[in-house]
């Protein structure tokens, strides 16, 4: 199951500052579309690993860890966690587009694709934004009962 959404952010200071900001793994969660509470960042490995709580829309808060698994050509993050005793795993793929909006200001468009597996027999259709509104009321009710 894949869903793609876009977010944008203007960064002042030109391309150098922009690349430094998005290239720093510690900034990843600061402008994520998901509500993330980072508990600890492990920098001892070649790849960063975060212990965190992540609040996935209509799924709820999941405690686990996230790690960078591939840097090229896209940044990929693998998330593993536990929610209500069930294992949850997701892949987040990040890509970026740049556009100079004025001298010294870069608009960064972050293209985020979230891949979710089946969860308790249901495919979670609502992963970002208003996409959940397209589901039938019956499916929404089933999902809400499942996660309450």
Q: What does the pLDDT read at residue 106? A: 82
b/e per residue 23-49 (b: at least 16 CB within 10 A): eebeebbeebbbebeeeeeeeeeeebb
- Range with the poorest average pLDDT among 38-42, 43-47, 63-67, 76-80: 43-47
Residue with tokens 């203007």: 10
DSSP reduced 3-state for 27: helix
Q: What does the pLDDT read at residue 123? A: 39
* CATH number for domain 2-146, candidates 1.20.120, 3.40.50, 3.30.530, 2.40.50: 3.30.530
Burial of 105 (0-12, 13-18, 19+ CB in 10 A): middle
Taking the domains of the chain in order of start, what are their residue ranges? 2-146
Give 15-30 pLDDT, tens digit per residue: 777 777 766 666 666 6
Give 71-94 pLDDT, tens digit per residue: 555 566 676 766 666 666 777 777
Give 45-63 pLDDT, tens digit per residue: 656 666 777 666 555 666 7
């Amino acid at each position: 199951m894949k869903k793609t959404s876009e977010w944008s952010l203007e960064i002042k200071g030109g391309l150098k500052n922009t690349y430094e900001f998005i290239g720093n793994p510690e900034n990843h969660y600061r402008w994520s579309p998901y509500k993330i509470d980072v508990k600890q960042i492990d920098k001892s490995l070649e790849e960063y690993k975060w212990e965190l709580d992540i609040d996935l829309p209509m799924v709820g808060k999941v405690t686990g860890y996230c790690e960078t698994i591939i840097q090229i050509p896209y940044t990929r993050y693998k998330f593993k966690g536990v929610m209500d005793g069930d294992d949850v795993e997701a892949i987040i793929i990040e890509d970026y587009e740049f556009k100079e909006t004025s001298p010294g200001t870069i608009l960064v468009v972050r293209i985020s694709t979230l891949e979710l597996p089946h969860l308790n027999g249901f495919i979670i259709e609502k992963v970002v934004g208003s996409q959940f509104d397209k589901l039938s009321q019956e499916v929404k009710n089933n999902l809400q009962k499942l996660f309450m």
